[in-house]
Amino acid sequence: MGAGKSTIGRLLAKELRLLFKDSDKEIELRTGANIPWIFDKEGEPGFRDREQAMICELCELEGVVLATGGGVVMRDANRAALRKGGRVIYLHASVEQQVGRTARDRNRPLLRTSNPEATLRSLLELRDPLYREIADVIVETDERPPRMVVLDILERLEKLPPR
């Protein structure tokens, strides 16, 4: 959360001349409701079911840069779909950066707590090993402009052996 997936994904897609998709935005377009509303009405399990179906569908597409929600790695099926679908880039941000980047964002249901920083620490502790498990490339985003992160990703992707 707050690592820059959507911003960097859009820029990367533009550089690679590929289509950009954001799984959360696709869910919102299909349902006609925003993510917080879905969480309120269906709970996190309901949202995660929708997310899993969307990830499965989007990972079947060719020529797409896909930005996912931060919790996507919590389900085995999602991790498998992402690995099968293409290269996985893990944008890592420190909790301090995440706090700063998400402080005014009201579209993050999991941060509707009395202590968002503690929530972010807990989520990072759970999710970080899972992202590292499936990542082809791991990029630190702290204190780096999105354009520099994209250039770093492009350089690293070029060095990867073909799949």
φ and ψ at residue 56, rounded to 5 degrees: -60, -45
CA–CA dist 4, 138 (Å, integer): 13
CA–CA dist 55, 156 (Å, integer): 24
Mean local confidence (pLDDT), 139-155: 95
Mean pLDDT over all residues of the chain? 91
Judge contact between 64 and 19, C-beta under 8 A. Answer: yes
Angle between helices 35-58 and 23-31 (to 10 degrees): 110
In Å, how far from its chain's centre is CA 141?
Answer: 13
At residue 3, does pLDDT exceed 80?
A: no
Report which of residues 102 and 81 the model is more confident about.
81
Q: Which domains does the chain have, with CATH numbers?
A: 5-152 (3.40.50.300)
pTM for this one?
0.88
pLDDT tens figures, 15-33: 999 999 999 999 999 999 9
Q: For the chain, what percent of residues have pLDDT higher than 70? A: 91
